[in-house]
Amino acid sequence: MRREAGEALLPELRAFRKDPAVKGWIEDSALFEVLNQKFEGRYWWLWPEEYRDRKKKTMRALKEELGDDIEIFIILQFLFNRQWHRVHELATSLGIQIIGDMPIYVGGHSADVWANRHLFTVKADGYPDVVGGVPPDAFSATGQ
């Protein structure tokens, strides 16, 4: 029964992966997540150089070694996206507006920075060149 249900979703999963809004980030995010687990949450700029710098040979080997984990990550993103759209459609049909916020800062330890270093202010080895935040104030002695 589960196998049939999974197979019935395959065309939708394939379409999700080809969607221009998804295909630009999904694989990088999956690779980042499996590496983040492999290296126990250490910042990506502290990973071994071949992973930190996304060496092609290393990335190919990673896809073979942890291919199932990469696929699971992508499938979970697909299922979440599918469920989110259903929730959003239901809320809209009931006259409920869902309001979210947009981040204005990309975390340094993220798939976005790891996969697109050229777009961010990082040193050649990946260490942040500058770091944003909030100075200490009445609410937090150390800032944010």
Distances (CA, A) of 136 to 108, 112, 131, 133: 21, 28, 15, 10
Instruction: State the pLDDT at residue 70.
Output: 97
DSSP 24-52: TTHHHHHHHHHHHHHTTT--GGGS-HHHH
Residue 131 has pLDDT above 60, yes or no: yes
Predicted model pTM: 0.83
Residue 1 has pLDDT above 50, yes or no: no
